[in-house]
Structure 1
Amino acid sequence: MLDTVINETGTDPQWAVLWLHGLGADGHDFAPIVPELLRPHWPAIRFVFPHAPVQPITINNGLPMRAWYDIVSMDFRSRADAAGVDASVQLLDALIEQQVAAGIPAERILLAGFSQGGAVILSAMLRRTRPLAGVIALSTYLPDPENAVARRAPEGIQPPVFMAHGTQDPVIPQAIGAHSAQTLKDLGIAVEWHSYPMAHQVCSEELQALGDWLDRRFQAA
């Protein structure tokens, strides 16, 4: 099981957010945003920020760093190591089951991810057969979309998705993220898309919109 950073916003949380970081970061990267995101009337939430395994990254001359998969090419059609994505999806599934065993039903678990982490959660979402509360994909894309769609669980119930991207993102161009969003929409998945004048990062306006989206998820339950 992955090492994680845990932040519980109240006693006996009945909701969980599993948040995957980007390349070269770790589970501490997004933990500081929790106070900015929270709203007083929300239920108690367990935020789980796992640390990705350390592995060599091909495009960084084999330099080892925390990563959810190897990046083998600059071409977005083949840049993500498929075996690495699969392995991280399995790790994420184990984290989900850990929360279910701890008493939080899958219907009250949200997946969140930035960049590489977002690529993993989008891949995982399409393969699930059990419902989730929602998916948050920030500055990211769906790796190998044709294969991802082909591997979609036929009986799967895909949750609503919040996606946000920067217009000036030099790491993952916004057009790549927008294409992924359209791919999901074409599958009938409810995707809320947001675009901001920023680079490969998160901004306060984005967190405000995400908070509004989360508010609707909690109210719907």
Structure 2
Amino acid sequence: MAARSRRMTLPSLAGRIDPIYKPATKPTSDPAHSAAFIFLHGLGDDAEGLENIADQFQKNDKVSYMHWVIPNAMEDRDAMTTAWYRPSPLTAFAPSRPELEEEEDEQGLVKSAAYVESLIDACVRKGIPPNRIVLGGFSQGCALSLFTDLTSKKYSGRLAGIVGLCGYLPLAGGSQLQHLRAIAELPPTHGDVPIFLARGKGDSLIPKRIWNITLKGLEAFDASSVEQHEYEGGHTINGPMLRDVCNWLEKVVPKLED
């Protein structure tokens, strides 16, 4: 599939469908005054599944100075579908024998986070500073966004904000995240990068127990700028959620005089 990028050179890798790139509808003359949103889809989906959200924002003239980068996960042979990493069961009840739980796919997360870093690099090369770049996603895309923000040697603590929709914090139950931060020579605390977290009250795929583990996990990194929202509905993005995301984006990457 041919790249849909215009005026931004995004990484093109063998075996991976190129990202969808939607340039700002009202670009700024100074790239440092623009913004970018790297938006990651969920398990079994692709970039086209989220493209309509960018279209809605642009059609309604919302954050019109923002560029949208919507990448594609690769096919996962184990999951037999597109995935950013091998999925793990997320149960509503704590297991009676935690030692028998399936290990999360740390290697897959690290590999996908490196790809996400390359997308941030592309935005930076275009002249958009990290503090004007938002990273976010839905479900697995949310998990990868939080993971990248916490473990990236280059960008942890430097981005404009993180959007997490109907997802969770992976590797939250042990010391792996702290270990990865130590390897990256990052401080033990996260800092004040704003995080927008949202879930559906009836979400059975990311149950309340997992949501609570996520919040507790972020607290362990002193992530003090977490904004939590719960909405009617299940594992889906809805209108009220998008309205709140829009308002949040306008706060974390406000329009600048050009």
Same fold (TM > 0.5): yes
CA contact (8 A) 1:125 1:158 kept: no
The worse-fitting range, judged by mean Cα deviation, of 144-153 and 164-173 is: 144-153
Q: Which residue of 2 aligns with 1:132?
A: 159
Aligned-pair identity (%): 29
CA contact (8 A) 2:23 2:67 kept: yes
Q: Residues of 2 paired with 1:220 and 1:135: CA distance? A: 18
Q: Which residue of 2 aligns with 1:219?
A: 254
Q: Which residue of 2 aligns with 1:142?
A: 169
The offset of 1:149, in angstroms, is 3.6
Larger proportion of strand: 1
Q: Residues of 1 paired with 2:57 and 2:253: CA distance? A: 14
Equivalence map 1:18-167=2 (5 Å): 18-37=38-57, 40=61, 42-58=63-79, 63=80, 65-73=81-89, 78=102, 80-129=104-153, 130=155, 131-145=158-172, 146=174, 147-152=176-181, 153-154=186-187, 157=191, 159-167=193-201
The offset of 1:158, in angstroms, is 5.1
* CA shift in 2, pair 1:154/1:107, >3 Å: same
Q: Residues of 2 paired with 1:176 and 1:214: CA distance? A: 25
SS in 1 for 2:163: strand
Letter in 2 for 1:164: A
How many residues matched?
216
The worse-fitting range, judged by mean Cα deviation, of 38-47 and 159-168 is: 38-47
TM-score by structure 1 length? 0.87
The offset of 1:37, in angstroms, is 3.6
CA contact (8 A) 1:138 1:165 kept: yes
Q: Residues of 1 paired with 2:90 and 2:64: CA distance? A: 42
CA contact (8 A) 2:65 2:255 kept: no
The offset of 1:79, in angstroms, is 5.7
The offset of 1:125, in angstroms, is 0.5
CA contact (8 A) 1:111 1:135 kept: yes
TM-score by structure 2 length? 0.76
* Structure 1 outlier segments of 4+, above 6 Å: none
Q: Does residue 1:9 correspond to 2:30, yes or no?
A: no
How big is the alpha-carbon RMSD for the aligned residues of Structure 1 and Structure 2? 2.4
* CA shift in 2, pair 1:164/1:72, >3 Å: closer
CA contact (8 A) 1:73 1:79 kept: no
Q: Residues of 1 paired with 2:84 and 2:107: CA distance? A: 10
Letter in 2 for 1:52: A
* CA shift in 2, pair 1:31/1:124, >3 Å: same
Unaligned runs of 5+ residues in structure 2 are 1-10, 13-17, 95-100
* CA shift in 2, pair 1:41/1:198, >3 Å: closer
Deviations 1:89-136 (A, max 9, x none): 111111111111121111111001111111111011011354000000
SS in 2 for 1:80: coil
The offset of 1:57, in angstroms, is 3.0
Q: Residues of 1 paired with 2:216 and 2:47: CA distance? A: 29
Q: From the CA coordinates, give the structure whose radius of gyration is larger.
A: 2
* CA shift in 2, pair 1:157/1:213, >3 Å: same
